[in-house]
Structure 1
Amino acid sequence: MASSSPLTAAPFTPLLPILNAFNHRHHNQHRLAHWWPVFRSLRRTIRNLIDDLSPPTSLSSRPGPRREAVPPRAIWLNKHFIPRAYVAFSQLAADNQHAPLGLLLLAILARIHTALSPLSVDTSSTKPQPKTNRSNDLTNQDKGVAIARQELPLTKATPSATSIEGTVSSEQQQQGSKIDREANTSSSSISKEKKKKKKGKGDALSSLFGSLA
Structure 2
Amino acid sequence: MDSSVPLQKLTTLHQTLHLLHHRNKNQHRLTKWYKYFSEFRRHSQKLISEAQNYISARNLSKKSKFTEAAEVKLKGRLEFCCSMVERWYFAFSTVVADNQYASLGLMLIGCLARFQSVTRDLCDEYGFEIEVLGDETMNEAGEVPVLQAEQEGAKEDDLGEIISREDVVEGFDDSVLVQDETPPDVKSEKKKKRKKAEEEIVVEEVTPEKRQKKKKKRKKGDAFDDLFGSLI
Tell me the TM-score normalised to structure 1 length.
0.48
Higher relative contact order (CA 8 A, sep 6+): 1
Which structure has greater helix proportion?
A: 2
Tell me the TM-score normalised to structure 2 length.
0.44
Larger radius of gyration: 1
